[in-house]
Amino acid sequence: MKERLPGDKLLWRILRPVLKHPFIKRYNLHGIGLQRLPEPPFILIGNHAYFIDAVLIGALVSYPIVWAVASGNFSNPLSGPILRAGGAIRKRKGVPDLPAMRKMIEVVDAGGVLGLMPEGSVTWDGEFGEVPPGTAKFLDRLNVPIVVARMSGAYLTKPRWADHHRWGRIEVEFQSFEDKGALDYLSEASDWQWQEKKRIPFKGKRKAEGIEKIIWFCEECHSFQSVKANGDSAECKKCGLSYTVDDFGYVSGRAVTDILEVQKELLSDYITKRGKIDAGEGVMTELQIGTGNKSKFSGKVTLDRNCLRVGERCYSLSKIRGFS
C-alpha cells in the first residue's frame, strides 16, 4: 500500500474535492504551468498577496501541502482548529524559529510538500516584501526542488488596507527551480507590473473604504488623519483634496506603491518638524518567547525616529526584528 504524504489528512481529503471548484470559480482562479510541478518531495514558495492565498494555491495543486503558518493564526477561533487538523506548522513570525525549522525538514524528509510564504506577512502595497536573512540558505539545505507559485491579481482582489473585496482574476504561475534562483523569480512578483500589462477590471463596491490605513497625510495641505473615505472616493476634510479608486485598483491614477512613497516622505517631514507623531490611543500585546504567555496593555501611542512608545513603554526601533 502506498504510504501517505505528510499533509494527507482527513480534512484535506474531505474539503479539497468539495471546495476546489467553488474557489476556482469565485476567484476566477487560473493556474499556469501546473505541468511543471515535480513529484514530491519539494518546497513550494509563494508571494504573500492575500490572506487566503495558501488556500487558493491548494485548490490548484493536487498534492497535500504542509504550510508553515504564523503562530498567531493558531489562536484564532476560526482558523486555529483548521490549521491544527490540517497539520500546519506553527512558526513565529519574522524571526528564526528552530523548532519550526526542524518540523519543516521532517516534512521534506518524509517525502512531502512544504509550503512557505517567505515574506511572512501579507503585502500592503502589492509588491514582494523583504525575506528574512538565511531563507536562501535554509532552502538550499533541504536539497529538493523549489517550486515557485507566483500569484498575480490576489492583492487587487483584496488590498490589505481595503475594507471590501473586488472581483477580477487571479493567476498563479508555477515554475520549478533547483537553487536560489527561485527567490529571485519570486521577488519579481508585482500586481502593478502585472496589471499594467493585463488591464483587468476588479469590480467591487466602496473601493476606497479603508484607505486611511495608507493615506495618513493629505498630499495638498499635509494635515494628519484628515483624509476620510466614503464609497469609491476619499476626501481631505480640511482642504477638499479628493482621491478616487478605479476598477483597476489605481488611486487617482497611481499605484499604491507611489501613494506610499509620498506618505513616507510626509511622515519623515512631520517627525523632523515636530519630533514625534501622536497616533492616539492603542493596545499593545506582548508575547513571551518560550512560555507563550501574553500580556496586554493600553496607552497613548507615539512614534519618533528612535522609539515606538505605548504608554510608558518604549520599543527601540533599532532593536525591533521582523517588521511586518
This model's pTM is above 0.95: no
Query: CA 246, CA 155: separation in Å to the nearest integer?
Result: 15
Average pLDDT over residues 272-283: 92
Average pLDDT over residues 206-224: 97
Residue with cell 519543516: 104
**Nearest Cα to 170, choosing from 147, 145, 189, 186?**
189
Query: How long a stretch of residues is the chain?
Result: 324
Helix (H, G, I), strand (E, B) or coil at 222: coil
Average pLDDT over residues 124-129: 95
Could you read off the pLDDT of 162-214 as tens digits, one per residue? Answer: 999 999 999 999 999 987 789 999 999 999 999 999 999 999 999 999 999 99
Please give the C-alpha separations between residue 253 and each of 124, 158, 203, 262, in angstroms, as whole numbers: 18, 18, 16, 14
Helix (H, G, I), strand (E, B) or coil at 155: helix
Q: Give the pLDDT score at 1.
A: 42
- Beta bridge partners, 227, equal 236
**Nearest Cα to 266, choosing from 282, 279, 277, 250?**
277
Average pLDDT over residues 126-137: 90
Decide if 154 contacts 56 (C-beta within 8 A): yes
| DSSP per residue, 51-116 | TTHHHHHHHH-SS-EEEEEEGGGGGSTTHHHHHHHTTPEEE-TTS--HHHHHHHHHHHHTT-EEEE
7: its cell numbers? 499533509
**Nearest Cα to 112, choosing from 101, 100, 103, 123?**
103
Q: Residue 323 pLDDT > 70, yes or no?
A: no
Query: CA 171, CA 178: separation in Å to the nearest integer?
Result: 23
Query: For residues 179 and 270, which has the higher predicted lDDT (pLDDT)?
Result: 270
- CB-neighbour burial class of residue 154 (10 A; exposed 0-12, middle 13-18, buried 19+): buried
pLDDT class of 289 with cuts at 50, 70, 90 = low
The CA angle 56-173-256, to the nearest 5 degrees, is: 80
Average pLDDT, the chain: 92
Q: Give the pLDDT score at 290.
A: 64
